[in-house]
Structure 1
């Protein structure tokens, strides 16, 4: 009986281990790294990510999706208008197409910490060159862009002691350091502007948050600013939580204790 059981177990093990492979579909991508012995263009290097496996493949897929967005925004094979080169000339999958009216709207959304980081410069490039049509962000995404026009943000460490930082007047955003003085400069710039907006409100109507944000971009008048290029290129910026963060503090303190008939109002549901 024991011999029979052993034979049965061995048979099960063999059937599990030596399962005959089904044929892989012919159109399945093969894992392959890039040959660095050759002269490789930046486009070829980036395109190779999707064949490397693991998260590199997901990055490559994301890049393809962005290329599709740009294609449907600007390109069409049928209409004969001004020709533009879509991507690298060595890329056979995207040759020259013809510009026509926009066929899709590209939305860009990000959290405030992305503006605090060096990604801000990428977003500025996208807005400056009109690669995006609409932006959605948090209050921190608004204020951090303006604050960076006045002062620098520094590299720190994720594990810095919060109590010690507070004594130095430093704030930590991940592994970034923002001095308190940065927010003071932001307040010094913003409060007089809020006074002017209030006077305009009393003469006209309450502003929309998106109109208020556009005004910030106009007044900062700094080409390093994302909001400046959004104002310049008529790219609306939506921020449902505009009263959060330092920006919200400034809006509150602007109204607090003022003995005036009307306070500053931003109509979020108008």
Structure 2
């Protein structure tokens, strides 16, 4: 077989002299385990480990920047409101008795008022449980709150008024769970039975008439999983609309497409 020489142009292309990157880029190197396990330095080293670890390191850096940021560190600009120009206002939220939920600010006073309003309701519910043998479920508790709210701007008010059940599989999450926790120390014994709500919610799907069900899910996570599971009891929903901002690539239930939900029986 005749030996062919490698064209000089190919060699020149593949072995082109590299540009000197010294001082221009971060050097990629992993954590030196000879230093022992220093978790702070270990996490910091992810930024220079390469591939996905570098992305995780960038994410950690951004999160730390978020935690360290204070309005007081920013310059006062012309478009700042008068309130934002106040040095006291510009301190960190916690010291101001404010809580951040997403892009909302909730004053501590709101939680205090919520506790003052809801604890007497729990007291009455416990009394009815003991004296009248009432079996409370998350949906019955929510209906009771709708009744007590007495405010026509609340959807719970209208749900209660029209006998529409509101199911909440994550009832103990958030402030309502905190109030149940606090009440258990004040007057122990209030029982909220989740099993009866599972029966009721799954029953809504199983006995749906006429023969078909459709689901519209805003968001994802626990509510989406719950409603898809309920419809699986009847071999799946016939129509489905998912509206959320989640992505498919991370394998989460929130980001799963309707196509993926075929395994759940969504047709």
Length-normalised TM-score, structure 2: 0.38
Higher relative contact order structure (alpha carbons within 8 Å, sequence separation ≥ 6): 1
Q: Which has the larger radius of gyration?
A: 2
Length-normalised TM-score, structure 1: 0.37
